[in-house]
Chains A and B, each alone.
Chain A
């Protein structure tokens, strides 16, 4: 199978940019990253379809001249799904902005709790609650 090097490199560059953006903290940037990423992946489908050719419509060209229609159908489906994704993530980013005045991805609650406990050197709340000796808290906490 022949692969189009330009398409491969363009796709790779887009996926790289997309991954970089997804690592950002703001949800809108994550969204832009996902869109770039998905378009990069769609290009890979065109690569997977083999060499370019005539439009795959019966009667327009000989079968041997046609490009492979299946990846094109797959890409179309993927594009539709990406559209739904953009709509949903935008709505979520907007809602997050409404509630918090920003759309940053927030800290994991448990992570933050554990970090705070570690900083102040405290017991976690799953510590044996039935213990009859509250003094041990003091010793361990001090």
Chain B
């Protein structure tokens, strides 16, 4: 059987599934069955593609079979197939999780359930299309597919906080899409093609200055998607407000699509890599600045969003090195980071569900309250920080080795930066662990109380309005009257007249849910198991990524596979 016939399926199946799910919107059970089946089938197809790409070289499908190479090519080489496999496993876990959550009946939020499954499948189709796209315009279209789905998912329910966060997210991403279109027009004007394989030869014939401009525009576009400093500011602000499974899949996949695009562009289109120094500096700034942001957060979701940005720096570091070892480390690290970040956000969703909040000001004693939750958080958190023997450690070692092998001053600087970032990550997750899981809820309550009294003594009463009148009002133009989230939260909790309660008070009132829905726990456990399993398959996986990296550097397997296959 010709495996390349399977290449379009990861895009077509979810789209058909989305249509079916929309038709079945009044029958939630059938809808769930459709989505789960589609995603499971995708994972199986991706596995077949990964094996085929590894053994027989890149698999190519020309859509519609135009006689001239004008049609759309979908290419699954080792890199694409691996990304596809990891992303479909992760999305399957997230979907079963959100089924358990009743998506997304977070109790008080009225969310249009029927829209969730179709939108989620469109998002998956967009991600798959981005990994398989063989030309730049198709890449643009897949970005738009996944972005539009993400706009809907991010503003599900249209609550005030989500609209506020959604506005920033939507405008930033629309601007980057416009810039992408400008880049496409420029590339087409300069070379007369948008096919990646053709571009790889024609871009080399351009004058250096023109090629540099094209590369810079594309780099800015992808850096916005990948959230690389200084273009990362939108991310920690918009992600944490979405429902937990949505944040999880965004954190796992959307930024990595940007990273994938940078990797593809640097290796295939601009093999001489004139901008590696720029990438390395950006990687360093991303790592350090974002992890410092993570330490300062008082909410677990926000903390995780910052670590997400910070660890994008590791990936860019590997790409910036431009060597086979660097690429290989980056690819392995992407696989690790997709699963780990998604798993952590799912766990935070469980914490929110079990304890009613993800704010460190309110949490305490979770290790005793829910021991399984403790394990589920602890293992991926240590993995994120890069504690041996987990896959985070292996990925970091590969990247650091590649940096040492490079030997330049900048590479050494980044090696140092990676180590410091790992330590600070450990500090950030350890702080979360000791605050949310280790201290007793009573301690948490008292600590917060001390913060209120200390603040009262330290500052004169701010504003003339009495406290009851200042609940979360994210009003416009109120200047200093705007909320300082953490402090106000503490004040609300300790105000006997306000219904807001921290964990300690809720435990005393006994208004916590006793159990978590089973499918939420099981899918999170499954994903955490995958992150641990990455350690055990790290040897073969590293071999695979090494071969993928060599392919990327050689370029010929990809280019010749696409061009020879022209119908």
Contact = CB atoms under 8 A, between A and B. Distances in A.
Contact of A27 (B167, B361, B482): B167
Nearest to A103: B167
B484 A126 contact: no
The winner among A119, A137, A141 for most chain B CB atoms within 10 A is A137
Contact of A107 (B163, B184, B482): B482
B22 interface: no
B297 A92 contact: no
A32 B163 CA distance: 19
Nearest to A42: B181
Given A41-B178, A125-B490, A77 B141 contact: yes
Contacts of A117: 484
A48 B188 contact: yes
A72 B311 CA distance: 40
SS of B interface (majority): helix
Contacts of A116: 480, 482, 484
B457 A138 contact: yes
Interface in B113-149: 137, 141, 144, 148
A120 to B, nearest CB: 5
A45 B188 contact: yes
A48 B158 contact: no
Chain A, interface size: which category? Answer: 35 or more
B407 to A, nearest CB: 38
B409 interface: no
Nearest to A121: B459
A92 B181 contact: no
A39 to B, nearest CB: 10
B278 interface: no
A37 B458 contact: no
A62 interface: no
Contacts of A141: 454-455, 457-459
Contacts of B455: 122-123, 137, 141
B561 to A, nearest CB: 23
Contacts of A113: 482-486
Contacts of B447: 129-130
A41 B185 contact: yes
15 contacts: A1-B189, A3-B189, A15-B182, A30-B171, A34-B171, A47-B189, A85-B148, A99-B163, A106-B474, A122-B484, A125-B451, A126-B298, A126-B486, A141-B455, A142-B458
